[in-house]
Chain A
């Protein structure tokens, strides 16, 4: 049972444009969400997180939006840069057990020149 889903395995975006990566979850107990970026042969790198008490969180070029009623979150990268090309994982957890993350299957982002 996939509790966190990233339905787009890949996404290609031109440099300078907006990248939007989507994530859906089914477990209503999840109340803390994170995005990680992963390059081949490296561990995931933490990007940004959001608590369920918020619907938006920004950090530089990265913004995460949370729609609790739809159980949907998205990561916006503006503007996209070639160095952003990587696999992006959405992860979810419950407050108090933040060390047990449930990950989505990942979306491979390719930023082209």
Chain B
């Protein structure tokens, strides 16, 4: 069974731009969560979607948003990029929202 895939793997943007990251969960998984990893803050939860509905949200500004499609694929969007948004963005999927999460390889975003 294929794992969680994320595209693109690497991305370079400039301050003020916006970016969209994509995540395809493991087949049959309906829950998708997003995390941000930075050297200073570690791994932090952004939000989680289940059946196209946001179930949980972390403590991030409104510039961070996401959505989930009917095929469980998910996208996250960051608008008005700041230097501090440079991070590894990880997507994780699980069968249901009470099940173990499996992570994708991440998208490395660099904001210049």
Residues of A in contact with B (beta carbons under 8 Å apart):
34, 36, 41-46, 49, 89, 91, 95-106
Q: Is the interface of A mostly helix, strand, loop or mixed?
A: loop
Question: What are the residues of chain A within 8 A of B104 when measuring CB–CB?
Answer: 43
Contact B105 A41 (CB under 8 A): yes
Tell me the bound Cα distance from A15 to B94 in angstroms: 34
In this complex, how many residues of chain B approach chain A with their Cβ under 8 Å: the count is 28
Contact B90 A99 (CB under 8 A): no
Tell me the bound Cα distance from A106 to B58 in angstroms: 20
Residues of B in contact with A (beta carbons under 8 Å apart):
4, 31, 33, 35, 42-45, 48, 50, 55-56, 58, 90-92, 94, 97-106, 108
Q: Is the interface of B mostly helix, strand, loop or mixed?
A: strand
Q: A36-B103, A96-B97, A99-B56 are in contact. List 4 more A-B contacts (CB 8 A).
A: A43-B103, A49-B100, A99-B31, A99-B50
Contact A101 B97 (CB under 8 A): no
User: How far does the Cβ of B51 sit from chain A's closest Cβ, in whole Å?
Assistant: 12
Contact B94 A98 (CB under 8 A): yes
User: How far does the Cβ of B84 sit from chain A's closest Cβ, in whole Å?
Assistant: 18
